[in-house]
């Protein structure tokens, strides 16, 4: 890939991240402090560190608040913490919850329960919060939650299905945090990482009514024929697992506001592409599906666009899934990129990047894991020269190993935000290509 094309693809990715970063997106939505009470700031997710840092600076610098009026706790993925003056930021496991998250969630619940009618409970929500806020319901252990999380991640369930199950197993998800904090005012400011920007799905909706039911959760388990601990099945079947629904008085003083969403990132990336002279084909910010299938479909689309003889940037967002069949390393963006490369088969003039805007794509939970990968017209030839067989790597879910050997991984590290994936394909038809 030419250095210019790689720089442009990286600039598009960086623009998407920047558009949704809390430093840019959050301050305009922060309310003034309550007249008499405290601000109790509670934050889970991959952007919790940056959101908390930005909010703390806002209230310290603009309103002069100290620890007596501003208290709280943030829980974020390991490696995603950011420095704060006095609010504490705890790092915990993701995507599988761990003991650090369990302890921090217990503190979070105690802080919410301590809020009075004069206080404002300010919830700064971002994707990853479902794992970071882990509070096993009665009869469940952390090991039970870990087991069901691993099973859901491996089977290819989408985020909505995963969170439908998670909400039944928790003392904080599915509106239960708002119920605990009542009668305090609750304001949730959220960065969306889910297709459709559904508040009930972002971090499993701890402060909003849950439209799903126990029957929906059981249907997910049946759909994927999941083997889960007996305690999990018993909990879902128990009427006590049902969550607060629309109309519950617990939400009378609760408000939910979206401060950044995947479409913001697509628009920012599109602006960079247009400035570089590309017509933009926006496929939307809410794509779902199996990563390898979407990658193959996008390869066919790019080839059709190339035949038209125009310079086109094909953009998409959303959250793809991977059904794990092999033993390799990777994530949805890298698997998409590998399938895209296979479908393009070295077609001239087509380059791409696929990356998770939080900075890591699947992997083992290490903040140094790649966010995605680059593809270019030379990918197949360079792979063949190194004895890499793309079909075999895809069958083994080893997209990381494939792109690592080519030095084509996207490795930005933790970005401080999370608006799901950005996929960008640049089509530069060769001279003489037909024009429609």
Strand partners, 289: 320
The per-residue pLDDT for range 86-110, each reduced to its tens digit, is 999 999 999 899 999 999 999 999 9
CA dihedral of residues 228, 234, 237, 238 (deg, nearest 10): -150
pLDDT of the residue at 436 = 46
pLDDT at residue number 363: 66
Q: Which residues are CB-neighbours of 29 under 8 A, at least 6 positions away?
A: 189, 257, 259
Ordered by start, the domain boundaries in the chain are: 3-15+263-427, 22-135+170-209+244-260
Which residues are CB-neighbours of 110 under 8 A, at least 6 positions away?
none
Choose which CATH entry (3.40.50.300, 3.40.190.10, 3.40.50.1970, 3.40.50.10180) describes domain 22-135+170-209+244-260. 3.40.50.10180
Positions in the chain whose pLDDT score sits under 70: 1, 363, 431-436
What the block records as the tokens of 276 is: 């570089």
Global pTM value = 0.91
Assign residue 120 a region (left: φ > 0; alpha: ψ between -120 and 50; beta: otherwise).
beta
CA distances from 310 to 39, 270, 344, 376 (A): 54, 16, 17, 18
Which pLDDT value is given to residue 324? 86
pLDDT, one tens digit per residue, over 151-192 is: 998 888 888 899 999 999 999 999 999 999 999 999 999 999
CATH code assigned to 3-15+263-427: 3.40.1480.10
Dihedrals phi, psi of 267, to nearest 5 degrees: -60, -40
């Amino acid at each position: 890939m030419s250095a210019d094309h790689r720089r442009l693809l990286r600039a598009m990715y960086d623009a998407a991240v920047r558009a949704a970063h809390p430093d840019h997106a959050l301050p305009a939505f922060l309310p003034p402090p309550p007249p008499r009470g405290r601000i109790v700031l509670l934050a889970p997710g991959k952007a919790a560190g940056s959101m908390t840092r930005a909010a703390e600076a806002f209230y310290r610098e603009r309103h002069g608040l100290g620890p007596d009026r501003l208290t709280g706790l943030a829980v974020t993925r390991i490696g995603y913490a950011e420095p704060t003056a006095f609010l504490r930021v705890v790092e915990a496991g993701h995507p599988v919850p761990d003991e650090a998250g369990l302890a921090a969630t217990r503190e979070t619940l105690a802080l919410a329960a301590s809020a009075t009618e004069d206080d404002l409970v300010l919830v700064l929500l971002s994707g990853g919060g479902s794992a970071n806020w882990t509070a096993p319901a009665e009869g469940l252990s952390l090991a039970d939650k870990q087991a069901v999380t691993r099973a859901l991640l491996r089977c290819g369930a989408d985020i909505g299905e995963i969170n439908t199950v998670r909400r039944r197993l928790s003392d904080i998800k599915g509106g239960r945090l708002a119920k605990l904090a009542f009668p305090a005012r609750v304001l949730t400011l959220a960065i969306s990482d889910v297709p459709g920007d559904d508040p009930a799905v972002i971090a499993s909706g701890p402060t909003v009514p849950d439209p799903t039911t126990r029957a929906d959760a059981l249907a997910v388990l049946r759909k994927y024929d999941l083997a889960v601990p007996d305690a999990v099945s018993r909990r879902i079947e128990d009427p006590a697992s049902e969550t607060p629904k629309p109309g519950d008085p617990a939400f009378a003083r609760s408000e939910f506001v979206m401060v950044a969403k995947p479409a913001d990132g697509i628009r920012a990336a599109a602006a960079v592409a247009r400035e570089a002279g590309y017509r933009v084909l926006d496929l939307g910010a809410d794509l779902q599906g199996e990563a390898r299938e979407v990658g193959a479909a996008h390869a066919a689309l790019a080839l059709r666009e190339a035949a038209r003889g125009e310079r086109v940037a094909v953009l998409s967002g959303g959250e793809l899934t991977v059904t794990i069949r092999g033993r390799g390393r990777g994530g949805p963006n890298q698997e998409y990129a590998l399938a895209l490369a296979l479908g393009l088969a070295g077609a001239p003039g087509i380059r791409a990047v696929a990356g998770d805007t939080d900075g890591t794509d699947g992997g083992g939970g290490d903040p140094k894991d790649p966010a995605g990968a680059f593809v270019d017209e030379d990918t197949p030839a360079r792979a063949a020269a190194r004895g890499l067989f793309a079909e075999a790597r895809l069958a083994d879910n080893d997209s990381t190993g494939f792109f690592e050997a080519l030095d084509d991984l996207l490795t930005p590290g933790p970005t401080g935000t999370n608006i799901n994936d950005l996929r960008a394909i640049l089509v530069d038809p060769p001279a003489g290509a037909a024009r429609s």
